[in-house]
């Protein structure tokens, strides 16, 4: 693998880690400032963001195969779309 591809892969992995950290900090800071609790939708959103970032990181590090990544992303998408109309 060329040096450029390794650098791009590392940049994507670090970006995903940054998104995970900033998202968690942002959610908690927003909830503290607004003096609201953490509801069901926020927990679902946080879980989805963490899972998608983790899947991207694991696929970039060649831990997960392409078929596995497609299956996981499809399952997450199905779960999110199926749960939209259940409870608001």
Q: Is residue 30 part of a domain?
A: yes
Which pLDDT score, from 0 to 100, does residue 54 have?
92
Which portions of the chain are predicted below pLDDT 50? none
- Residues 79 and 47: beta-carbon distance below 8 Å: no
Number of separate domains in the chain: 1
Which pLDDT score, from 0 to 100, does residue 70 have?
92
Which pLDDT score, from 0 to 100, does residue 88 have?
56
- Residues 57 and 13: beta-carbon distance below 8 Å: yes
Tell me the HSE value of 71 on the side-chain side, using a 13 A CA sphere. 5
**Max Cα distance, the chain (Å):** 49
Q: Is residue 88 part of a domain?
A: no
pLDDT digits (tens, 9 = 90+) for 31-49: 899 988 888 888 888 888 9
- Residues 51 and 11: beta-carbon distance below 8 Å: no
For residue 76, what are the domain limits?
Answer: 3-83
Taking the C-alpha atoms of residue 82 and residue 11, their distance in angstroms, rounded to an integer, is 33
């Amino acid at each position: 693998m060329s040096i450029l591809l390794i650098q791009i892969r590392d940049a994507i992995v670090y970006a995903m880690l940054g998104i995970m950290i900033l998202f968690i900090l942002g959610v908690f800071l927003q909830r503290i400032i607004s003096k609201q609790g953490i509801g069901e939708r926020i927990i679902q959103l946080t879980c989805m963001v963490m899972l998608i970032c983790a899947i991207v990181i694991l696929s970039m590090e060649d831990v997960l195969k392409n078929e596995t990544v497609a299956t996981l992303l499809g399952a997450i998408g199905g779960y999110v779309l199926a749960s939209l109309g259940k409870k608001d």
